């Protein structure tokens, strides 16, 4: 039989324990015992099996309600069989009770397929198997949904064999707290063989283990809305080779472990998200031993939900670290799994040089794995809604635009562009550097302090492109003891360049720094950058309109730092708020600025003329800075006036909340 290709929008294999009992009154319309076999012979599945039965692969079966394999009975499903479930929610499922067996005998070229007609998440229940292995819930426990009985003392219990199974559209909603899974394993024993299982687009978990000792090999779990892999009640089996993909927002996790830790093992887990989210979550005392872990695109790698000990989670032979991204090369490649014919997310790598005109595609997932450099004469365009995941590769990972190159970031208020490391931790990656041909006191063709890039000339209206609605997180990788990357570095960028609506969050160095040039910026949001939020030097003389700065973490340097000569840059409407003290405005050497609309709250030092520069270089509200030296200080001042303008209202800047 030729390989079955289906439109897999949702395969969910974790049928949760949702039946109310093992009797045939589970069905809204009871099926008489003698009718169950007749229905099967007619291609319909409903009721409780009364004799061992083998389906016919040449028949497309309709699952019309609950179909239950009771104790002492077995159901065999040959390769290539298709079962189409009614869109009946919680009334439609397959369940194997304690002592019953299911043998799904798909092959790699002819898998067994269980799906609803449209394969939409939540259309039907799924597959539930109840065994006699141990569970911390105890022997003869009652399932959280359906009232099935499960659990005993036979850890080698055999509920059958599942090979090459694809499930779509499960996860029907039972109540506010419970849903069916794609495949639910209740105290299933190690004598049960499970390999090559796909659960796609389930409204709840992909697979869930409630105690038991069963192991699983080769799992494909795509867009399950709760947890891709879930376990509780002391499951102690092993998963070997699991591929998890999330391209739809608001899922729960890749892995959720709960309750006691019986140390289940996962060997080779590759998980990819294009929408952020949490990868591994452990509740209470739960844990696991994981080797071959590859996570890509998750905002949080590990969540110890109830502050359980990290020592319970061992990854690659060592205690897990919540600060690590675990972004290593993929350990599982599903392209060779011929039993599941689906389209996986294509993660495009950004690396090397941009030559010619390159336009990214907002529908694709991008990963910045090293330097990505726009060469002289080339252009890079990034459309609204594009998300670029930057590897936590430190100084090796950045985007740079060289002199003569252009970058056009075309985000919108509702669809900003996001460039961030998966966890957005300070110093994870470099940032964005743009080199232009405008004037700088460093002179033409100067060499940048980072990257050795060449910048500077005499074209003050030079155009390096447009940046609109951009959110950057996790920048500031350390180069050496003196230098770090900034969130955005502007080297001699000219006034022909447009920069507006830019957020730099959680950088370990400056938020935005100007090295000479004439470029102006507007609507700049800078949150918890560890050095200076706004920094300039080498005679920058542009204008910044509407700048909002937030400091809630100790140890930053300043809100502003100006250095070297004073070419009098202008700031219109500046709000800087600190909950942790610190210094607001610092001017080194002869630097200065003209500031209007200044609102400062919470800083210990309002103004620091670091090298005893003249206060006349700092014009606030049209006059020399009106300030009084702090007691015992020679350069640090408190402003007497000019710092209490109305704060910027950023309540409409919803774009700053954008995430990967």
Distance CA 251, CA 10 (A): 14
pLDDT of res. 296: 87
pLDDT of res. 23: 32
Neighbours of 335 (CB within 10 A): 7
Q: Quick check: 477 and 427 in contact, CB under 8 A?
A: yes
* Percent with pLDDT over 70 in the chain: 94
pLDDT of res. 33: 59
30 pLDDT above the threshold of 90: no
Torsion of Cα atoms, 389 then 392 then 395 then 398, to 10°: 0
State the pLDDT confidence band at 391, using cuts at 50, 70 and 90. Answer: confident
DSSP state letters, 595-641: EEEEEEES-SEEEEETT---GGGEEETTEE--EEEPTT-SSEEEESS
Between 493 and 249, the higher pLDDT residue: 493
The whole-number average pLDDT for the span 336-341 is 93
State the pLDDT confidence band at 31, using cuts at 50, 70 and 90. Answer: low
Distance CA 369, CA 458 (A): 34
The whole-number average pLDDT for the span 324-341 is 91
Distance CA 93, CA 634 (A): 78
pLDDT digits (tens, 9 = 90+) for 243-269: 999 989 899 999 999 999 999 999 999
DSSP state letters, 405-450: -EEEEE--SSS-EEEEESS--TTSB--EEEE--S--TT-TTEE-TT
pLDDT of res. 20: 32
- Mean pLDDT score of the chain, rounded to an integer? 92
pLDDT of res. 14: 29
pLDDT digits (tens, 9 = 90+) for 199-214: 999 999 999 999 999 9
Look up residue 451 and give its two tokens.
């990257």
The whole-number average pLDDT for the span 448-471 is 96
pLDDT digits (tens, 9 = 90+) for 151-170: 999 999 999 999 999 999 99
Q: What residues form DSSP beta bridges with 491?
A: 435, 515
pLDDT digits (tens, 9 = 90+) for 586-632: 999 999 999 999 999 999 999 999 999 999 999 999 999 999 999 99
- pTM value? 0.73
19 pLDDT above the threshold of 60: no
513 pLDDT above the threshold of 80: yes
The whole-number average pLDDT for the span 7-27 is 33
What is each CA distance from 176 to 116, 164, 270, in whole angstroms? 23, 32, 31
């Amino acid at each position: 039989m030729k390989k079955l290709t289906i439109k897999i929008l949702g395969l969910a294999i974790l049928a949760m324990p949702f039946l109310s009992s093992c009797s045939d009154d589970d069905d809204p319309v009871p099926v008489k015992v003698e009718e169950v076999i007749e229905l099967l012979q007619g291609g319909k599945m409903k009721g409780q099996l009364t004799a061992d039965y083998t389906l016919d692969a040449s028949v497309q079966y309709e699952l019309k309600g609950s179909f239950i394999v009771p104790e002492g009975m077995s159901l065999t499903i040959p390769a290539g069989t298709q079962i189409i479930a009614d869109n009946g929610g919680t009334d439609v499922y397959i369940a194997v009770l304690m002592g019953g067996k299911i043998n799904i005998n798909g092959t790699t070229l002819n898998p067994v397929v269980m799906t609803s007609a449209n394969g939409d998440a939540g259309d039907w229940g799924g597959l539930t198997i109840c065994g006699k292995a141990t569970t911390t819930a105890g022997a003869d426990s009652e399932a959280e949904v359906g009232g099935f009985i499960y659990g005993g003392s036979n850890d080698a219990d055999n509920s059958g064999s599942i090979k090459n199974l694809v499930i779509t559209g499960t996860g029907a909603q039972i109540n506010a707290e419970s849903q069916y899974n794609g495949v639910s394993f209740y105290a299933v024993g190690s004598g049960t063989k499970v390999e090559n299982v796909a659960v796609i687009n389930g409204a709840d978990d992909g697979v869930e283990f409630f105690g038991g000792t069963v192991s699983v090999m080769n799992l494909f779990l795509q867009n399950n809305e709760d947890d891709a892999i879930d376990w509780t009640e002391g499951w102690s089996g092993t998963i070997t080779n699991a591929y998890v993909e999330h391209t739809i927002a608001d899922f729960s996790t890749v892995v959720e472990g709960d309750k006691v830790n019986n140390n289940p093992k996962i060997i080779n887990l590759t998980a990819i998200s294009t929408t952020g989210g949490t990868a591994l979550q452990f509740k209470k005392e739960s844990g696991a031993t994981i080797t071959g872990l590859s996570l890509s695109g998750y905002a949080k790698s590990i969540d110890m939900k109830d502050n359980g000990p990290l020592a319970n989670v061992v990854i690659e032979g060592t205690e897990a670290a919540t600060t690590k991204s675990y972004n290593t090369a993929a350990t599982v490649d599903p392209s060779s799994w011929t039993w599941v014919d689906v389209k996986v997310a294509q993660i495009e790598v950004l690396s090397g040089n941009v030559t010619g005109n390159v336009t990214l595609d907002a529908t694709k997932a991008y990963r910045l794995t090293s330097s990505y450099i726009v060469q002289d004469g080339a252009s890079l365009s990034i459309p609204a809604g594009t998300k670029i995941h930057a590897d936590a590769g430190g100084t090796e990972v950045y985007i740079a635009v060289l002199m003569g190159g252009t970058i056009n970031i075309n985000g919108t208020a509702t669809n900003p562009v996001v460039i961030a490391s998966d966890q957005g931790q300070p110093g994870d990656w470099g940032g964005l550097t743009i080199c232009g041909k405008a004037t700088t006191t460093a002179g033409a063709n100067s060499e940048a302090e980072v990257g050795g890039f060449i910048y500077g000339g005499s074209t003050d209206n030079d155009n390096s492109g447009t940046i609109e609605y951009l959110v950057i997180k996790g920048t500031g990788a350390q180069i050496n003891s003196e230098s770090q990357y900034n969130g955005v570095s502007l080297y001699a960028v000219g006034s022909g360049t447009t920069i507006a609506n830019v957020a730099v969050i959680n950088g370990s160095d400056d938020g935005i720094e100007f090295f000479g040039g004439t470029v102006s910026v507007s609507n700049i949001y800078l949150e918890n950058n560890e050095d200076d939020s706004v920094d300039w030097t080498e005679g920058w003389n542009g204008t910044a309109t509407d700048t909002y700065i937030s400091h809630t973490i100790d140890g930053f340097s300043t809100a502003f730092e100006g250095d070297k000569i004073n070419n009098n840059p202008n700031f219109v409407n500046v709000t800087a708020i600190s909950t942790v003290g610190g210094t607001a405005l610092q001017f080194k050497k002869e630097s200065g600025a003209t500031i209007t609309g200044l609102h400062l709250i919470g800083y210990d030092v309002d103004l620091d003329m670091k090298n005893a520069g003249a206060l006349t270089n700092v014009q606030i509200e049209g006059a020399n800075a009106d300030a009084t030296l702090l007691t015992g200080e020679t350069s640090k001042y408190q402003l007497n006036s000019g710092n209490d303008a109305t704060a910027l209202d950023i309540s409409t800047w919803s774009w700053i909340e954008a995430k990967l």
